[in-house]
Structure 1
Amino acid sequence: MASSLLLLSFLFFSLCHALPREAILDAADVLSDSNFVSMALTLEIVAETILEHSPSATVFAPSDAAFKKSGQPSLDILRFHFVPLPLPLSSLRIFPAGARIPTMLPGQSLTVTTSSSDRVTSLNNIKLTESPIYDDGLLLVYGIDRFFDPTFHSNNQRPISDSDSSCSRKNHTSSSNSFDQAVETLKAGGYTAMASFLGMQLFDVAEQSGITVFAPTDETVLNRIGDFSEYPSFFRRHVVPCRLLWNDLVDFGDGSELPTFLDGFAINITRSDGVLILNGVPVFFPDVFFNDKVVVHGVSDILAAQNNAVRVGEEENVFGEF
């Protein structure tokens, strides 16, 4: 057990705390060389203000023609073009049409409008460049030919269901992959902390009944969890004892609750501007990984204890000693 804790300590404290200024300047240089001069200059001026507390980001850069047509945008419009997590093309292509991607403009999100037949990813019906203009793993920049419209509404949104609040186990068909594959996929996608907990804690449980994991990124875990004594409680409140794909989650009505492996702690489902919210935290990356036993969804922050949750140290350890 001590070796596991030491490993987690090394993983957490070796992570980057903030997006470095050098990355922003490098991205601006590449944008300028790629004929996105207006956004290059804008990025140098506003990036640190918009991304003050974000260790990673994806930026959607309008073309020089878009700036010429629309004029210099407001800071709020610029915030609408910043997403506080890195989104490589492989991730963007996984989002289903109609999925919402929260932006740095509070309460506003981008809508995935890519259909299964499209070769190019689109958001709010605006196509992205076929590959990032800049990508260092933490900061990614895509080009777009015009500004996103915050008032955009997609006709592809799913109706909200009147599902009850139970976490019923559902049968799905999928290829049978190993539990280890879920762990490796999480590690490769920037969810090393959750992958480590998953590997140590839940193999037997997942094999028996299936689980759903709501995974914050490594940077979020590092910034929000500093005491080893909190780790078991932190992990268990992010895991639901049944298998729920994205299409299952969106069928739950507002106010539905999902039980977790932390005794007394439930996850409350609501929506804001069409974005699925769990205990106040948006689901950022649906179906990061899934097979016939494990489903993982990325969330933009840790799921904080609310009125229905017990406090750290008062819960029963349902997995035994950590």
Structure 2
Amino acid sequence: MASSLLLTLSLLISLIVYSLSSPLSSETILDASEILADTGYLSMSLTLELISDTLFPNSHSLTIFAPSDPAFIATGQPSLPLLQFHFSPIPVSLETLKSLPYGTEIPTMFQGHSLTVTSSPSDDRVSLNNVDITPLPIFDDGFLIIYGIREFFDPDFEVRAPESSFGCGFLRTNSFGNASEALRSGGYSLMAGFLDLQVLEIKKSTMMTVFAPTDQVLGNRLGNFGEYSSIFLRHVVPCRLLWTDLVKFNDGAALPTHLGGFSINITRSGGILMLNGVPVYYPNMYISDWLVVHGLRQVLSVPWEGTQEGIAGATDESGGSIEDYTPDYEF
């Protein structure tokens, strides 16, 4: 499964921001160790004090997933790579963890190994590598965040891709709430607003796929209020299409949308899947049993707004070269 590209970008931005701050102080590590010990994570408390100077002496931020004392007893003395697998160089807040879609990868200090989100935004829990984390952080000062887990993560864990249930039909009930929250948390607030306000424009019971442009590019297109409905409806397909479904379409396939007379044409350029000349930037941003959302970096234009001629030499509506934003997947 492709990594969640938006998370990767946000993590890179976070690395830049937090690299400008001071390294984690010994006082912060000591405070965290004391709280770990007081909350029943004595083994991790002692481990943190012992390895902090050598494992992350100059870290500016950190997320730690602390195994319980029984886990340490069952496993014995963990190896250094196994410990590194439980440390991420990014402070990942609980709000962020809850918003991440299934299959999102979170980098760790164990080189070449990432943790994988195995829950979805609609769940009432957060799990990584099929291990639930504590409902609230044990410690959180904005730079160092610690969660508890009942067992050690398995570095050899492999995520199972969500099963495709490609369909164009109707369900009895559904809700846009969780999808809207996922969109807002990822920088797609305007599309979330459309989803909330334009519900009556679409039959509430239909399966659908939403192709969501970012706030930055969509904001540049919102001038005439009368065009809002057109902009929204042209990005909605009355079928549930996972990324694995999209890549199975042949070049030239046309996806009908809720905007009458407007279709989304599938092509490929240099191995990249294109929708009316626009690459999918964030596949499977949100998945439910009736709705899938994919992120875009451009608005899908209607013919009279300009032609779509692929990515060669083109620019996206935020001013950058499309090649700068080409997602890292091929088929």
Q: Does the aligned pair in 1 maintain the 2:65–2:86 contact within 8 Å?
A: yes
2: CA distance, partners of 1:13 / 1:113: 27
The residue type equivalent to 2:324 in the other structure is A
2: CA distance, partners of 1:83 / 1:40: 17
2: CA distance, partners of 1:110 / 1:18: 24
Aligned residue in 1 for 2:67: 62
> For 1:82-136, what per-residue CA distance to the aligned partner results, in whole angstroms no more than 9, with x for missing partners?
1111112111000011211111111111111114553221111111111011111
2: CA distance, partners of 1:22 / 1:85: 19
Shift, 1:138, TM fit: 0.7
Aligned residue in 2 for 1:119: 124
Aligned residue in 2 for 1:24: 29
Shift, 1:48, TM fit: 3.5
1: CA distance, partners of 2:74 / 2:19: 44
**1:275-314 maps to which residues of 2 (within 5 A)?**
none
CA 1:158–1:108 in 2, change beyond 3 Å: closer, same or farther?
Answer: farther
Shift, 1:242, TM fit: 8.4
Q: Does the aligned pair in 2 maintain the 1:60–1:144 contact within 8 Å?
A: yes
Aligned residue in 2 for 1:140: 145
Gaps of 5+ in 2: 1-16, 165-189, 196-214, 224-230, 233-277, 285-293, 297-310
CA 1:259–1:105 in 2, change beyond 3 Å: closer, same or farther?
Answer: farther
Q: Does the aligned pair in 2 maintain the 1:97–1:114 contact within 8 Å?
A: yes
Alignment of 1:35 with 2:40, yes or no, is: yes
Aligned residue in 1 for 2:78: 73
> For 1:42-87, what per-residue CA distance to the aligned partner results, in whole angstroms no more than 9, with x for missing partners?
1112233333443111100001111111011111101100111111
Shift, 1:19, TM fit: 1.8
Equivalent position SS for 1:175:
helix
The residue type equivalent to 1:175 in the other structure is G
CA 1:116–1:267 in 2, change beyond 3 Å: closer, same or farther?
Answer: closer
The alignment yields a C-alpha RMSD, in angstroms, of: 3.9
Q: Does the aligned pair in 1 maintain the 2:62–2:145 contact within 8 Å?
A: yes
CA 1:43–1:205 in 2, change beyond 3 Å: closer, same or farther?
Answer: same
1: CA distance, partners of 2:18 / 2:43: 37
Q: Does the aligned pair in 2 maintain the 1:96–1:112 contact within 8 Å?
A: yes
The residue type equivalent to 2:328 in the other structure is T
Q: Does the aligned pair in 1 maintain the 2:19–2:60 contact within 8 Å?
A: no
Q: Does the aligned pair in 2 maintain the 1:111–1:154 contact within 8 Å?
A: yes
CA 1:157–1:103 in 2, change beyond 3 Å: closer, same or farther?
Answer: farther
Aligned residue in 2 for 1:174: 192
Gaps of 5+ in 1: 1-11, 160-171, 178-198, 211-240, 251-255, 277-322
1: CA distance, partners of 2:111 / 2:131: 21
> For 1:145-179, what per-residue CA distance to the aligned partner results, in whole angstroms no more than 9, with x for missing partners?
110000011213689xxxxxxxxxxxx953159xx
1: CA distance, partners of 2:18 / 2:103: 37
Shift, 1:13, TM fit: 11
1: CA distance, partners of 2:18 / 2:37: 35
Q: Does the aligned pair in 2 maintain the 1:57–1:139 contact within 8 Å?
A: yes
CA 1:44–1:113 in 2, change beyond 3 Å: closer, same or farther?
Answer: same
Q: Does the aligned pair in 1 maintain the 2:62–2:88 contact within 8 Å?
A: yes
Larger radius of gyration: 2
Q: Does the aligned pair in 2 maintain the 1:28–1:44 contact within 8 Å?
A: yes
With CA pairs under 8 Å and 6+ residues apart, which has the higher RCO, 1 or 2? Answer: 1
2: CA distance, partners of 1:13 / 1:92: 18
Aligned length: 193
Of residues 104, 118, 136, the one that matches 1:131 is: 136
Aligned residue in 1 for 2:114: 109
Alignment of 1:93 with 2:98, yes or no, is: yes
Of residues 138, 154, 163, the one that matches 2:159 is: 154
The residue type equivalent to 1:45 in the other structure is L
